[in-house]
Structure 1
Amino acid sequence: MKLTGKQKRFLRAEANSMSPIFQIGKNGLTEEMVREFEDSLENKELMKVQLLQNTEWTAKEAKAFIEEVSGITVVQTIGKVLVLFKEAEEDKYRRYSSRLPKQN
């Protein structure tokens, strides 16, 4: 899903008070881990992931990998924290996508 600047701004504001749910450590980032992110996002739509100091991945590399192997959009990177978004398929889980500003 391609997001506009206004939509990304809305999602960043919503994620501001969240704590990271997943951590990427010395084992790195794998496709299996990204699938877990997708499963979690199906119920949450928006979450944070933290890169630990002992990982060899940079935030830029992690962002590119996550977006390449999945339908997840990385809304923001702040230092070693990524904000991930994926629209839920079921209406009952659309906590954020139902409130996104409309695209022009």
Structure 2
Amino acid sequence: MSDLTALRDAMREFTAERGWERFHDPKSLIVALVGEVGELCELFQWLPSGEAAALAGEEPLRTRAGEEMADVLLYLVRLADVLGVDLAAAAERKMRLNAEKHRA
């Protein structure tokens, strides 16, 4: 069992406990995902690009960025579940395709 499978199962349970399945259609999940990416982007929007990595290693940005990245991951895992996509397999396949496309 992969970590993504465990997250998927936890998200299924979390959603079911609250009766939110009816709200988790693909369009709504994509909109929520985009919103969370926007919140992550907002944290870095005005940081000087040359300093962003160093600043992201310091509090409170480190914690806030981690929280927003977790939100992005959770919505993505939920979307993959709703669409019946094996996210780990899709990512591995995409990495192979990218390696072939961008051979050094």
User: Normalized against structure 1, the TM-score is what?
Assistant: 0.23
User: Normalized against structure 2, the TM-score is what?
Assistant: 0.23
Task: Give 1 or 2 for the bigger CA radius of gyration.
Answer: 2
Q: Which has the higher contact order (CA 8 A, sep 6+)?
A: 2
